[in-house]
Amino acid sequence: MKTINPKYTIIILITTFILIGLGVFFLNTAIIGLLFGSVLSVIFCLKSGFSLKESLTMILMGVKNAKIIVMIMSLIGVLSALWMASGTMASLMDFGFSHLLSFNLVLSIFIITGVFSLILGTSIGTLSVLGVPFMEIGTTLGIPAGIIGGALVSGIYVGDRISPISSSLNLNASMTGTLVIDNIKAGMKTIGPVILLSALLYGFIGRGYDVGNTHVEKISVIRDLLDSSFSLGFINLLPVLVLTLLALMKVKIVYGMIVSIITTILLLLLNGTVGLPELFRIMVVGFHPESGELHSVISGGGFLSMTNVIFVILFSTGFSGILEHSGGIKPLIRSFSNMVKTSGQLTGKTSLLAFSINVVTCNQSLAIIIPGRFLTETFEEKGLTRLNLSRTLGDTSVVTVPLIPWNVNAIAIVSIIGISTFSYLPYAFLCLLLPLYNIIHEFFQQKNIKDELKEPKGTEVFESS
């Protein structure tokens, strides 16, 4: 079986990583680095005996994995613009101004998104529903966008980590040969304390923003502006309620968003607010009201607003595809295993490895698949269990992706909430603290973990509780 020379893989990874960093820093895009990395990968694959057709096929195999996220990003652009034009976003903001002012908004955002993500089992799906409304409400009330973004990001990854319907959790269980229910129980031992600590931090930060007194006059002006520009009411919340209900019914988020789009279009047409040509324009280029005051409060969205993020996703998954299918990663994993001497080193270095894969490949799944496939024996040789491995991957591979600006998940987050990764990163407490807490926990608890493992029956990896 043909594989790319490991030396070539190292050259590709180092070069691509440097170019991605330079591109993000100077040009605010990872596309150039990913494109160059893909071209370099093809060149070295040719030198290793692969044909051009085989090399391009490997890239296409990676790109195919992105079709769902690309569809979601496209629908988010269209949906957000329609929600703005129909008064749905304005009604959400008015509702938020009416009911959230008496609470600590920063803490409320973390708790609400956390609960919602547990129900939906998807970080991006949760953010697509709650992200824009909470960002609009919070920034309007004078809370820095980075703080709101950090609370949102921390909340949405609670579900990605421990929701039984999370694709990341099920993939982790499959790759490590453990049961989903065991993953959840083990994961709670690390994420539970981190959730509490994060809540305390958000509660403390949120106390500094007494939105009920400081911004009452500003809120009143904005509510009057929204009321005069849109027909506010319960009916305008119907697209959000439809999307939420379908998500709770376990309907795929893509289908739910399509139904919500159709519902919003019907509202616009029945109200006679816009004609078909204007409706099509809004879906493509976004909602941009002529009023300068209204534009500063509600504007944006549209399919075109997502084109840059879609291109980055396609390039990053293509690059990860050729890395995975050319076999260049496997020898590096073997070298890593040989470097580990003790069980204590293994947990820390596995966390570092998973994070490094997230950094280089821009793909969360590979950071679960590669260590999950190749480190099971290494963990057992060091006296640990597959559950140790799955917990380490869950606490690192899953929650660190929003901290890497060129990672597919971070790009999706930025495109939804409209701020840079570096703006929300210092406040994404759960994502920052969980990998560190896992290492500390494993260091002190390794001898007690073995009793937690349940052997899976056959190839079964999911068991409902």
Residue boundaries of the structural domains of the chain: 6-62+307-450, 67-159+185-278
Burial 430-465 (b: 16+ CB within 10 A, else e): bbbbbbebbbebbeeebeebeebbeebeeeebeeee
Q: Is the pTM of this model over 0.85?
A: no
pLDDT recorded at residue 463? 37
pLDDT recorded at residue 196? 97
pLDDT recorded at residue 231? 81
Segments in the chain below pLDDT 70: 28, 96-97, 100-102, 119-120, 165, 210-219, 296, 361, 363, 445-465
Q: In this structure, what is the dihedral angle of CA atoms 264, 268, 269, 271, given to the nearest 10 degrees?
A: 130
Q: In angstroms, rounded to a whole number, what is the distance separating the alpha carbons of residues 118 and 64?
A: 27
pLDDT recorded at residue 459? 40
Q: How many CA atoms lie within 13 A of 82 on its CB side?
A: 31
Tens digit of pLDDT for each residue in 361-377?
A: 676 777 887 788 778 88
Cα–Cα distance list, 51 to 7, 163, 187, 325 (Å):
19, 42, 44, 13
pLDDT recorded at residue 390? 92
Tens digit of pLDDT for each residue in 132-155?
A: 888 888 887 788 999 999 999 999
Residue 345 DSSP label: H
